Structure 1
Amino acid sequence: MNIELVWVLVLLASAVALFIRNRPRMDAVALIILVALPLSGVLTVEEALAGFSDPSVIVIAALFVMGDGLVRTGVAYQLGELLMRHAGQSETRLLVLLMLSVAGLGSIMSSTGVVAIFIPVVLSIALRLNIPVGRLMMPLSFAGLISGMMTLVATPPNMVIQSELIRADLTGFSFFSFAPIGLIVLLLAIVYMRLIRRWLSPSPASTIPKSERHHIRDLIDEYAFSDRERCLRVKDDSPLVGQLLNELHLRKHYGINVIAVERQRRFRQILLGATGSTEIHSGDRLLIDWIGTGRSASDTYQELGLSLWPRGNSYFADHHRELGVAEVMLPPHSNLVGKTIQELTFRSQRKLNVIGLRRQLTAFSDTFIYEPLQVSDTLLVAGNWNDIRRLQSDSRDFVVLSLPAEVDEVAPALSQAPYAIASLAIMVLLMVTGVVPNVLAALIGCLLMGLFRCVDMNSAYRSIHWQSLILIVGMLPFALALQKTGGINLIVEGLLTLLGGAGPSVILATLFVTTAFISLFISNTATAVLMAPVAIASAQAMHASPYPFAVTVAIAASTAFMTPISSPVNTLVLGPGNYRFMDFIRIGVPFAIVVMAVTVLIVPWLFPL
């Protein structure tokens, strides 16, 4: 063992120890390694920095942007709502649809992001069906992890292993190379979760945690708006057709405050914020605040050519990703003190409608629009989420007290959803067919997302998880350093000596166990960086195909079911599911053994040795 190899092994052991300690951050540790290797003369500066130009790193960054496009356009949330509609009242159907949806969506975007999106969806479904939330959260995390076994781009470890194959002058995997194993594991996971579901909610405390944040429904009730919420359809012969809202003075003359307009356009229904320049069309559905003027509602509807349109839900519930509310307070220096709501010209100045007034925690009735405002009065305003957010920059006349929890689910580019799906489909098609390299396909997908305004430059840069990228870039040189100093050969010789004349299946099982064990303590991406060259070198030493060995490491890196800290996906569901550390061990370890058995049996058949 030479001095350079000793130095590399010391650095590696130090990095692992710091990863486990999680101080400093993992990306900071990776940068320290990036500097230490060339300073010691083990690698040149160019070799140490080669990770910045690695195509796999660019692909991973591009996929973060693609995932952000799916979130900003509401595609990911719409999938959750579709799940709720089709699950019905069946827990089994819900479990199957949930795991299939999460694994499918996670195969083309960050599994951590997918699980984060689905957590509020699962909480609401569990509340509706009266299911202990613990019986759904762990299946959610398992499906998120299994999504990494579905496609080449599903998780960074897959791309790391792909990069190592190319570096060894071998042909990389295709887009769906991992899919057969992933599908088998997913089906087994669904059956497994169905069988052990009674152990997923180990205590009566495994119920839905109460949120301290207000929801739209809470604010509507607090401001006594529920009784005034109406939906009116514009008849073909209505005198309102073709006129602008600011010309009609509906609130002044009829006590009708139009908040938004539902309109059928081509093959889909759109929602328009109500402004003074909004023109009324035949067939429009007006979402209104019924204030009234003393006349009967039926007489008013008849005069204006309107009919009451029945709704099962509040229109805020139906359009909570476009239409929102906020609670604002008047500070002492506000210029609005002493004015009535009618005098505020809120709609013309800020494109928002005031739909409620509270004073000392008491809500006014429908006469609130004539009440002079006082210091510390709170108003409930409604309108487009973008316009609501602009209120936060106006600190002179009012202070935004709170935004409801639904703001977390807002899709700022909702109307661009079809273009986001098309951009994603083009990227996947290019990757599957191999017309262009994967890195170009991913960049083309990002450019299309930008062209169609699914993302903007600021959101694109914010969406990239730079810590993950720096970790990969900083750890990639380790593989090269171990190769140059003879470390890989030493590890492989030790492995083969230890196992004696064992067959390939035993070697695959050993690689799986080693990879899964290391990933319990450090990032599965860093684990893949370390184990990929060992797997390929082991195959070459045995004169076997490197592909089953590489696939085994990839699958093992995604088998992070065993502890809540093995993956961010597990950590996300730990609190909402009210799980304990041991819950993951007793549920995750048996399934990890199942995945290992499937891998050892299926991989040599799919990728002949």
Structure 2
Amino acid sequence: MTKELIWVIGLLLVAVLLFASGRLRMDVVALLVIVAFVLSGTLTLQEATLGFSDPNVILIAALFVIGAGLVRTGVAITMGDWLIKMAGSSETRMLVLLMLTVAGLGAIMSSTGVVAIFIPVVLSVAAKMKRSPGRLMMPLSFAGLISGMLTLVATPPNLVVNSELVREGLKGFGFFDVTPIGLVTLVLGIGYMMIARFWLVTSQSESEALRHPRRSWQDLIRDYKLSGRARRLAVWPGSPLIGLRVDDLKLRERYGINVVGLERWRKFRRVMVPVSGTTEFRAQDILLVDISATDTDLREFLREQRLEPKILRGDYFSDRAQDVGLAEVLIVPDSSLAGKTLREITFRTRYDTSVVGLRRRGQLYEDSVIDLPLEQGDILLVIGDWKKIRLLQQQTHDVVMLNLPAEIDDVAPAHSQAPHAIFSLALMVAMMLTDEIPNAIAALIACLLMGKFRCLDMESAYRAIHWPSIILIVGMMPFALALQKTGGVTLIVNGLMGIAGGRSPHMMLLCLFVLCATIGLFISNTATAVLMAPIGVAAAHQMGVSPYPFTLIVAVAASAAFMTPVSSPVNTLVLGPGGYKFSDFVMVGVPFTLLIMVVSVVMVPVLFPF
């Protein structure tokens, strides 16, 4: 063993210990590794920083952006709502559906892409179920890894071992030859995660959420008794309101009617449009109004203005929380609003939001508040565009944002572009399936299309990338080259042949799995397969048995990268969102890897006899 190899192995051990201790951030450790390799002369600067130009790094960064696009357009939220609808309040049912869905999609497209897409879905689901994201993030990553065992094209290691067989003049694997092992692993994985999720420590934030849940739209509507005062009114053609602005009509002064929103046809569907003082009414608009008028005055108003009442269902408000915001604001001491009425302030014109409720000293004020002088300590319930509510939040000299409903977490500012986001995603998947376009380029094309369709802007795109995860992957890549340059990989492989070469084929399968899993801790599963596939074929020839079980065990072991957060990009992706430590993956991943090892050594010879 050379001094250079001792140095590389020592540096590797130090990095692993720092990961496990959590004393330094993982991305900082990764950068220190790059610096150490260059300063020691083990690798050149170009070799140590080669990961920054790696297509997989570009792919992962692009997938973060695509995931953000799905969130901003509401696609991810819709998928989460579907999962919640199917699972109900059962975390167990949610876990099963999540793993089945991710594994199914990952069987035909990049597992990294699937996991990146589902991360915002899981965050949304966890928030709505009041669970820690960590309870579902690791099942998500495990399902992504298991998906690589379901079809021949599910992951690069499968294609690598298949190519090695073809180079040897043998027939390659069929599309579904690996599927039986993948299905058994998936069933075991679901069952295992039913138990393992309880090993992950419940975060303090989850406990706080359970004790002090945030109020929702429905809570605010109930507390301010809005449902009894709200009406939907359709504007008929010929109505005298058409073409007039809200401020010009003075409906609240004349009739006790406050227009807080309206539904308008846009692109073949009705959407909720926030109302400002300059909003003009159009034919076929449906007005959402807050009524303080008597029934007699309301009937007279409807007749004069040619308006038709429409049904207002109980779930109307919460169904439109994506379009219109609701929030409580507090009048602060020395506020310029104190002592003035909403009419004097021209509140709607000034802030582009409408006041629909007021609480004073803990009591709800149920009469019209338009001419009520405001006092410090008054709590106003305002309704309007989410962007305008965010701007109101900045008016700290006059008001303080007291409460934003839980729905703010699910607001999709570009929800009207959801069809374009789905198209971009579908196009990316189609390009990946053809194998004609590199995955990284397919993902970049999807990112550019999302930008073109205004699914997200450049600022949002850059914010979406989880840079610590990118740096971690880049910093660990030099280890593969360093081990190869210093002879470390060759030394390990020769040792394997010395241990298992003269023993039974089952022992060789076991040793191949262990070696693949061990090497896969430090280098990518694709690189592991490239390295180990020729060894598996050579070992089979030396032992006089079929190479199929040996190459298949290499493919399965390469996908079984469950043991550390740096074993696979799939694990790295969920590290931050799940709030995991390095030790969490070791605690949960090692037992499952051992289980898959036993199952594989038993099943592979049954599928492909020696």
* TM-score of the alignment, normalized to the shorter chain, above 0.5: yes
Q: Secondary structure at the match of 2:273?
A: strand
Higher mean displacement: 432-441 or 220-229: 220-229
Q: Which residue of 1 aligns with 2:292?
A: 291
Secondary structure, aligned partner of 1:349: helix
Q: Give the letter for the 1:448 counterpart.
A: L
Secondary structure of residue in 2 paired with 1:288: strand
For the residue of structure 2 that corresponds to 1:227, the secondary structure is: coil
Q: Deviations over 1:480-537 (max 9, x none)?
A: 1111111001111223323344566655544555666899xxxx78675995665356
Flag the 1:193–1:269 CA change in 2: closer, same or farther, 3 A.
farther
CA contact (8 A) 1:253 1:293 kept: no
Change (3 A) 1:325 1:19: same
Letter in 2 for 1:360: R
Report if aligned partners of 1:357, 1:368 keep a CA contact under 8 Å in 2.
Answer: yes
1:555 corresponds, among 552, 559, 568, to 559
Larger CA deviation: 473-482 vs 384-393: 384-393
Q: Pick the aligned partner of 1:535 from 513, 522, 532.
A: 532
Secondary structure at 1:370's aligned position in 2?
Answer: coil
Q: Any conservation in 1 of the 2:526–2:558 contact (CA below 8 Å)?
A: no
Does the 8 Å contact 2:146/2:185 carry over to 1? Answer: no
Shift in alpha-carbon separation, 1:360–1:43, aligned structure 2, 3 A? same
Answering whether residue 84 of structure 2 is matched by residue 80 of structure 1, we say no
Q: Is the 8 A contact 1:147 1:182 kept in 2?
A: no
Q: Equivalences for 1:344-493 in 2 at 5 Å?
A: 344-493=345-494
How far off its partner does 1:594 sit? 5.9
CA distance 1:547–1:380, change in 2 (3 Å):
farther
CA distance in 1, matches of 2:197, 2:475: 43
Aligned to 2:122: 118
AA at the equivalent of 2:121: I
CA distance in 2, matches of 1:463, 1:59: 14
Give SS of 1:184's match: helix
- Tell me the residue number matched to 1:142: 139
CA contact (8 A) 2:519 2:528 kept: no
The AA in structure 2 aligned to 1:458 is E
Q: Distance in 2 between matches of 1:70 and 1:241?
A: 37
Unaligned runs of 5+ in 1: 128-132, 576-580
Mapped pair 1:221 → 2:222:
yes
Shift of 1:572: 6.8
Report what 1:5 is aligned to: 5
**For the residues of structure 1 that align with 2:507 and 2:411, how far apart are their CA atoms?**
50
2:322: which partner in 1?
321
1:109-140 CA distance string (max 9 Å, x none)? 4637735533553675x69xxxxx89x99677
Which segment drifts farther, 271-280 or 80-89? 80-89
Is 1:265 paired with 2:266? Answer: yes
Determine the structure 2 residue equivalent to 1:184. Answer: 183
Letter of the 2:560 counterpart: A
d(CA) in 1 for partners of 2:356, 2:505: 71
Structure 2 CA distance, aligned partners of 1:260 and 1:599?
60
The corresponding residue for 1:50 is 50
1:150-188 deviation digits (Å, cap 9, x = unpaired) = 369xxxx9689999999xxx9xx99x9999579725862
How many Å apart are 1:375 and its aligned residue?
1.7
Q: 1:160 to 1:559 in 2, by over 3 A?
A: same
Instruction: Find the residue that maps to 2:423 and give its secondary structure.
Output: helix
1:500-511 alignment to 2 at 5 Å?
Answer: 500-502=501-503, 506-510=507-511
Q: How does 1:61-76 map to 2 (within 5 A)?
A: 61-76=61-76
| CA deviation after TM superposition for structure 1 residue 78, in Å | 0.9
Structure 2 contact 432–438 (Cα < 8 Å) conserved: yes
SS of match in other structure, 1:262: strand
Question: 1:177 and 1:324, CA in 2 relative to 1: closer, same or farther beyond 3 A?
Answer: farther
**Cα deviations by residue, 1:203-235 (Å, 9 ceiling, x for unpaired):** xxx999344433223333333434223333334
How large is the RMSD of aligned CA atoms in angstroms? 4.6
* Cα deviation code 1:399-436 (max 9, x no counterpart): 22232222111111111111111111222222211232
Evaluate the alpha carbon distance shift between residue 589 and residue 20 of structure 1 in structure 2; reply closer, same or farther with a 3 A threshold. closer
Q: Match of 2:311?
A: 310
Alignment CA distance shift 1:502-1:404 (3 Å): farther
Distance 2:411 2:319 in 1: 13
| Contact 1:149 1:178 (8 Å CA) reproduced | no
Deviates more, 1:221-230 or 1:255-264: 221-230
Distance 1:475 1:456, change over 3 A: same
Which amino acid counterpart does residue 480 of structure 1 have in structure 2? L
| Partner-residue secondary structure (3-state), 2:370 | helix
Q: In the TM superposition, what is the alpha-carbon distance from 1:290 to its structure 2 partner?
A: 1.9
In 2, Cα distance between the equivalents of 1:535 and 1:160?
10
Q: Is the 8 A contact 1:215 1:405 kept in 2?
A: yes
| CA spacing shift, 1:178–1:42, aligned 2, 3 Å | farther
Change (3 A) 1:91 1:332: closer
CA contact (8 A) 2:432 2:442 kept: yes
1:57-97, CA deviations, whole angstroms, 9 ceiling, x for partnerless residues?
A: 11111111111111111100011223445568999986764
Aligned-partner Cα distance in 2 for 1:179–1:241: 66
Gaps of 5+ in 2: 201-205, 542-546, 566-570
Shift of 1:305: 2.9
C-alpha distance in 1 between matches for 2:589 and 2:49: 37
- In structure 2, relative to structure 1, the CA distance for the partners of 1:289 and 1:602 (3 Å cut) is farther
Alpha-carbon contact 2:479-2:522 (below 8 Å) kept: no
Taking the aligned partners of 2:524 and 2:112, their CA distance within structure 1 comes to 22
Residues 233, 286 of structure 1: 8 Å contact kept: yes
Q: Return 45-54 or 321-330, whichever deviates more.
A: 321-330
| Structure 2: distance between partners of 1:215 and 1:285 | 24
Aligned to 2:14: 14
Deviates further, 89-98 or 228-237? 89-98
Alignment of 1:567-578 (within 5 A): none
